[in-house]
Amino acid sequence: MNRTLAILPLMLSFLGLKTPAGALSVGDEAPRVAAPDQNGTTVNLADIYAKGPTLVYFYPKADTPGCTAQACSLRDAFPDFTGQGVQIIGVSADTAEAQKKFAEKYNLPFMLLADADGVVAKAFGVPTAMGFAKRQSFIVRDGKIAWIVQGAKTGDHAAEVKAALQELGLGGAR
């Protein structure tokens, strides 16, 4: 085993990061977990996947500069995504109330999940630091992980996702 890879878990631990044992790869079954949305309604992700391709993106904290830029990037391109049949779900450790305020403040037209207990992040294998999920995004197609990006760009995240959709044959990048 590469020596650097062998010490990676120790380095992440030292930095206060947790790497979930179940990190996902392209082709894996998408996690079928449930969490409350910004309205407090429990959402089963398997039901969402059944409706078509889904972007599930994780962000550290609602209404912070980077997370706002990322959400607004997706908001501004939302008509392009829905025109391609793509659903968007944002996930953070915030409460449903904080997610609702965030969605209302920035007119976010997509669902935000409140993952205060970290169940969704853990199911997706998203690393956390001090209770905050690292920025990571997944495209789910036909119930399987079709694309993953770690450290998603904040202000240009929509462009990243559009390029991935184009590569996956799920629509043209506009």
The pair of structure tokens assigned to 55 is: 């972007």
72 is catalytic: no
Phi, psi of 157 (to 5 degrees): -65, -35
Residues 6+ apart with CB under 8 A from 32: 44, 45, 46, 49
Is 70 within 8 Å of 161 (Cβ atoms)? no
Of 24, 43, 62, 67, the catalytic one is 67
Record the tokens describing residue 99, joined without a space.
């997610």
Active site members: 67
